[in-house]
């Protein structure tokens, strides 16, 4: 049965898709292994933080018999509010690129660029800011595979490492699962 949800795919793999602040930064040739290594360390922290933030606790009805369930729920809401406020302060003090449509996974990415568009074959890093309360962006190193006349840019990433690729796959899967659940149970 078709549920009105299309699976987001890129390079024949599940992909994460959203409208987020993104930027393409050109890198000198050849890749500097130290720079790529520092990106990997930061990406690992960003993806772990994103995973922790997406854990919203129980989505089911809380057990009224649990002695501190209401207190924990209130604390969770307050922490989320605090994270949102810190994110707003962070964005105000460190401006980010304009949001654009972006789709990515461990193999590559597609984003809507603004003029001037990057040149085909350019080597660089795609920076994707996943959440306002996470200071660092994901930095995915790759090469421009195609540039459309409308500014749609496709990038092929160098392999980010097994652990980061696994976390990117889980990020895409959680987003897809939320979209499917939202289609099945729309909010009223």
**21 contacts 101 by C-beta, under 8 angstroms:** no
What are the helix (H) ranges across the chain? Answer: 33-54, 69-93, 162-184
Question: What pLDDT sits at residue 59?
Answer: 47
CATH number at residue 176: 2.40.10.220
The verdict on residue 71 lying in a domain is no
Question: What pLDDT sits at residue 144?
Answer: 97
The verdict on residue 66 lying in a domain is no
Question: What pLDDT sits at residue 68?
Answer: 77
- Count of C-beta atoms within a 10 Å radius of residue 177: 10
The verdict on residue 42 lying in a domain is yes
The verdict on residue 143 lying in a domain is yes
Which residues in the chain show pLDDT less than 70?
Answer: 1-5, 55-65, 87, 91, 183-188
The verdict on residue 132 lying in a domain is yes
What's the total number of domains in the chain? 1
**What is the DSSP pairing of strand 13-14 with strand 108-112?**
unpaired
- 27-77 pLDDT, tens digit per residue, is 988 888 888 889 999 999 999 988 888 765 444 455 656 777 778 877 877
The verdict on residue 36 lying in a domain is yes
Q: What SS3 string covers 117-138?
A: CCCCCCEEEEEECCCCCCCCCE
Q: Which domain holds residue 101?
A: 9-55+95-181
Say which DSSP state 94 is in. Answer: S
The verdict on residue 68 lying in a domain is no
The verdict on residue 23 lying in a domain is yes
């Amino acid at each position: 049965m078709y549920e009105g949800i299309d699976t987001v795919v890129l390079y024949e793999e599940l992909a994460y898709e959203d409208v987020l602040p993104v930027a393409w930064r050109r890198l000198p040739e050849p890749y500097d292994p130290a720079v790529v290594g520092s990106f990997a360390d930061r990406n690992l922290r960003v993806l772990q933080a994103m995973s922790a933030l997406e854990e919203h606790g129980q989505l089911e009805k809380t057990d009224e018999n649990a002695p501190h369930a209401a207190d924990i729920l209130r604390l969770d809401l307050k922490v989320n509010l605090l994270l949102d406020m810190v994110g707003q302060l962070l964005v105000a003090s460190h401006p980010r690129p304009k949001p654009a449509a972006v789709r990515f996974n461990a193999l590559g990415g597609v984003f809507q660029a603004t003029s001037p568009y990057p040149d085909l074959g350019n080597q660089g890093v795609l920076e994707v800011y996943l959440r306002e309360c996470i200071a660092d962006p994901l930095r995915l190193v790759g090469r421009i595979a195609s540039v459309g006349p409308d500014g749609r840019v496709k990038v092929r990433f160098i392999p980010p490492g097994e652990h980061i690729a696994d976390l990117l796959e889980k990020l895409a899967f959680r987003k897809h699962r939320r979209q499917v659940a939202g289609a099945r149970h729309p909010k009223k």
